[in-house]
Amino acid sequence: MDSDKWSPAVQRYAVDASDDEPRLGKVTRCTEEGVFLLPPGGGREWEAVPEKVRQPTADEWARIRTLTTPVPRAAP
């Protein structure tokens, strides 16, 4: 295996490119049959085909950071 090749790993963010609209998610587990992801900020886990999971682009990373950055509580 090429050491420069990206692959999904637990706790890494990845993109499920199975559909027309790619879905961002944090990898929770990987098997030979599937990669399991959770949406940034929470939500329902889904399974993606490993061959359709890729590394996020710079724009997707910006979106992930936006979705996972806590909003400070407003002062009373």
What is the per-residue pLDDT across 17-42, written as a single tens digit (0 to 9) for each? Answer: 999 999 999 999 999 899 999 999 88
Residue 17 placed within a domain = yes
Residue 75 placed within a domain = no
Residue 73 placed within a domain = no
Q: How far apart are CA 76 and CA 73, in angstroms?
A: 9
Residue 2 placed within a domain = no
pLDDT at 72: 87
Reply yes or no on whether the pLDDT at 2 is more than 90.
no
| DSSP at 50 | G
Q: How far apart are CA 4 and CA 49, in angstroms?
A: 21
How many domains is the chain built from?
1
Higher pLDDT among residues 1 and 28, named by residue: 28
pLDDT interval class at 70 (50, 70, 90): confident
As given in the structure block, the two tokens for residue 17 are: 């490119």
State the average pLDDT over residues 39-59.
Answer: 95
Residue 4 placed within a domain = no
- Residue 46: which domain range? 13-68
What long-range pairs does 37-40 form, CB within 8 A, spacing at least 24?
39/67, 40/13, 40/64, 40/67, 40/68
Report the CATH number that the domain containing residue 39 is assigned in CATH.
2.30.30
